[in-house]
């Protein structure tokens, strides 16, 4: 019997389409996915459960991705967080990385590229 658990990813995004897309793709790719529709609920999930990586949207109505990232860092400083955005700027990417983001990806992204980045993030946590 295989006792290895599936990698757990938390997706924090206010766009229903993105949440459904990522849930479907990563579930079929052998990951356990938890979805949060806003920053506050995402932070609550990190506080009550263990994840291998987090995907968080940069622009959300309640808290932006950088604020969410800072709160996640306070809970679990080693948890890899990948920031996603449809509004890329050099300043936004620098700020996200300065606040401890593991990576930064621009929407629309290729799902397999995102999967590669998630896998690298998960491996970095194991080292």
**Does 2 have pLDDT greater than 60?**
no
**Does 25 have pLDDT greater than 90?**
yes
**Does 88 have pLDDT greater than 90?**
no
Of 9-18, 20-29, 94-103, which gets the smallest average pLDDT? 94-103
Whole-number Å distance between alpha carbons of 14 and 35: 10
Helix axis angle for 65-75 and 39-48, nearest 10°, is 10
- pLDDT at 3 (0 to 100): 57
Q: DSSP letter string over 13-79?
A: -S-HHHHHHHHHHHHHTT-EEEEESSHHHHHHHHHHS--SEEEEES--SSS-HHHHHHHHHHH-TT-
**Does 121 have pLDDT greater than 60?**
yes
pLDDT tens, residue by residue, 33-71 = 999 999 999 999 999 999 999 999 999 998 999 999 999
- Residue entry with tokens 């946590």: 125
């Amino acid at each position: 019997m295989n006792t290895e658990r599936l990698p757990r990813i938390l997706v924090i995004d206010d766009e229903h389409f993105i949440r459904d897309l990522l849930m479907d793709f990563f579930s079929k790719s052998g990951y356990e996915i938890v979805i949060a529709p806003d920053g506050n609920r995402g932070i609550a999930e990190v506080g009550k459960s263990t994840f291998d990586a987090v995907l968080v949207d940069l622009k959300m109505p309640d808290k932006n991705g950088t604020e969410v990232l800072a709160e996640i860092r306070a809970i679990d400083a080693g948890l890899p967080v990948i920031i996603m955005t449809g509004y890329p700027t050099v300043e936004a990417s620098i700020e996200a990385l300065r606040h401890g983001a593991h990576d930064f990806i621009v929407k629309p992204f290729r799902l397999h590229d995102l999967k590669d980045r998630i896998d690298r993030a998960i491996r970095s946590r194991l080292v």
